[in-house]
Amino acid sequence: AQSVTQLGSHVSVSEGALVLLRCNYSSSVPPYLFWYVQYPNQGLQLLLKYTTGATLVKGINGFEAEFKKSETSFHLTKPSAHMSDAAEYFCAVSFGNEKLTFGTGTRLTIIP
């Protein structure tokens, strides 16, 4: 069965510091990988996705993620955190069918 694990339910970083949110998946077939962001009282919004091709994927708001097959990882990074990045982030995986399996989420807090 497909699964995705997000390490760290809460992450705090200082404004201007590097943001690193971790995501690992388990699979025996190539996955499609997604990061979604949820701002308070809102639905989920797609940040970025990997389907095929270049393993370094750039998304909105300066975020990027790298698909590393050997490590079964798809960590989300941003070089410099901004106060507006405070939100909950979800990693999700699909294996070529319609079903999205979500991780448990990481709440990102930005310290002024």
Partner 1 sequence: EAQVTQNPRYLITVTGKKLTVTCSQNMNHEYMSWYRQDPGLGLRQIYYSMNVEVTDKGDVPEGYKVSRKEKRNFPLILESPSPNQTSLYFCASSLSLRTGYMNTEAFFGQGTRLTVV
Report the nearest approach of partner 1 to the CB of residue 99 (Å): 7
CA distance 25 to 33: 9
69-98: which residues touch partner 1 (CB under 8 A)? 90, 94, 96-98
**Nearest residue (CB) to partner 1, 34 versus 74:** 34
CA distance 112 to 105: 23
CA distance 94 to 9: 21
28 lies in the site for partner 1, by CB under 8 A: no
* DSSP-assigned beta bridge partners for residue 78: 19
Report the nearest approach of partner 1 to the CB of residue 31 (Å): 11
Which residue's entry shows tokens 């989920």? 44
Residues contributing to the site for partner 1 (CB under 8 A): 6, 9, 32, 34, 36, 41-46, 49, 51-52, 90, 94, 96-100, 102-105
